[in-house]
Amino acid sequence: MNEFKGKRLLVLGGGHASLPIVRIAKEEGAYVIVTDYLKSGVAKEIADEALVVSTADIDALAEIVKEKKIDGVFSGPSEFNIVNVMKLCKKTGLPFYATGEQWDICSDKALFKQMCRDSGVPCVPEYHVTQEFLKEDLETIKYPVIVKPVDSSSSRGITVVQSKEELIPAYQEALSFSKKGHVIVEKYINNDFVFSVKYVAYNGEIQLLLTSDSYIVDPIGRTALIANVTVFPSKLYKQYIQTVDPAVKKMFKTLGIQNGAFFMQALVNQEDGNIYFHEMGLRLSGGYTYTVTEPVTGISDAKMMIRYALGLGLSSPEEIERIDPTLKGQFAVSVCVPLNPGVIAHIEGVEACRSNLNMVGFLQYYHEGDEITTSKVGTIDQHFCRIKLLCHDYTEIEKSINFIMENIKVIDVNGKDMLFKRFDTTRLE
């Protein structure tokens, strides 16, 4: 547990997103310093040292790197902070896992989809729409469509649109979340889950790490297009391996990704059963799937990325050999519990879940006295907690989810149940 002993890691961001990074680095013996513009944060609380310096102040951070003799810089999956890590590493000569060009292509939904089309990787069809809302563009659209900014994350600024009247305000809202001032309008594919794949690049070779199916919170009302339940591996694993995986590996080898972890998300068209990608992240996923892979195979992509940031190399051939996207025949499930807006007065059921389920991960975002505002509905900040479990089959998965839904209770100051929606396990069928 001392792989990083003697190394000093600077982590940008003191919130929940960075918490697992700080824990892993400390467990492996690194001295960890956490910084952002806030005086406190859950990641800062467990760090060896906490600073109040903005993660966007690259010059000040470069001075910290020099003064504190930092060996590596990293962050959680916050894309804002990752961009700052990239800038800081360039300024100080510390390792970073991607080039600026690679990052721009992978973080821009439109550029990513163009790369897919160029490589023969299926992606969601889109319509040409500009801020002028030209009549000839609008007449080509067949509703429903989904409108989203090209460069936002955490499901912000995304709207499902049923008519031309809804399109313009949805477009303008998406535009407000786009730093690049660019919005895409895609064909809406009606399905109940999002298909995801996770990869690791090691010395230029692309390895499939994991597949999953994520069921969104509100598939009918579409008010919360965020993951509720995720099952690993995906039901489509064999289909994907046979039909799409080779083209994806070739695409990322062509892009020149050498070392690092990344993921892609796709929709499955119920009409033809085909997989269509729509976005990716050249980073760790917010769900931190190492909590699923490490107990089964010993593989942690998070540890790999920290190792690379510290200049120790991403992995070893022996470690890469242990990767098993099928989880050795087991299943894992991630359950998120979404809340309605309100102020939390009482929480119960957490200990019951810890005692009765085969839990491999638990992250609680809110506590008594915290407020969930209306602006958080439809974003990952709507979730009360994230629970990770290992299961033998779908029967055990369903029983475990039902146990969580029956036992976790979050009550507001008015005595009302705050759970936004309880997951219906028949959706898994």
Residue 419 half-sphere exposure, CB side, CA atoms within 13 Å? Answer: 17
pLDDT of 190 over the 80 cut:
no
pLDDT on residue 193 = 86
Q: What is the band of 93 on the pLDDT scale with cuts at 50, 70, 90?
A: very high
Position 243 pLDDT exceeds 90: yes
**pLDDT higher than 70, residue 60:** yes
Which pair of tokens denotes residue 381? Answer: 């900040």
Q: Could you give the angle at the alpha carbon of 222 between the alpha carbons of 185 and 233, nearest 5°?
A: 90
pLDDT of residue 114: 95
How big is the chain, counted in residues? 429
When pLDDT is averaged across residues 278-285 and rounded to a whole number, the result is 94
pTM of the model as a whole: 0.88
Residues 6+ apart with CB under 8 A from 53: 35, 36, 37, 60, 61, 64
Query: What does the angle CA 427 – CA 361 – CA 77 come to, to the nearest 5 degrees?
Result: 90
State the virtual CA torsion across 256, 257, 259, 262 in degrees, nearest 10.
Answer: -170
> Between 109 and 320, where is the model more confident?
320
- Measured CA to CA, the distance from residue 105 to residue 116 in angstroms comes to 11
Q: DSSP class of residue 415?
A: S
Burial 103-138 (b: 16+ CB within 10 A, else e): bbbbbbbbebbebbeeeebbbbebbebeeeeeeeee
Sign of the Cα pseudo-torsion (224, 228, 232, 235, in order): negative
| Contact assessment for residue 87 and residue 159, using Cβ atoms and an 8 Å cutoff | no
Burial readout 378-409 (b: 16 or more C-beta within 10 A, e: otherwise): bbbbbbbbbbbbbbeeeebbbebbebbbeebe
Residue 178: which of 159, 160, 156 has the closest Cα?
Answer: 156
Report the pLDDT value the prediction gives residue 287, as an integer from 0 to 100. Answer: 85
Q: Is 20 helix (H, G, I), strand (E, B) or coil?
A: helix
For residue 19, give the nearest of 2, 1, 40 by alpha carbon: 40
Q: Give the pLDDT of residue 151.
A: 78
Three-state secondary-structure class, residue 401 = helix
pLDDT at 320: 97
> 155 falls in which pLDDT band (50, 70, 90)?
low
Q: What is the mean pLDDT of residues 105-130?
A: 92
Sketch out the chain's domains with CATH numbers: 8-96 (3.40.50.20), 125-187 (3.30.1490.20), 193-428 (3.30.470.20)
Question: What's the CA gap between 139 and 136, in Å, rounded?
Answer: 5
Tell whether the torsion through CA atoms of 28, 29, 35 and 40 is positive or negative.
positive
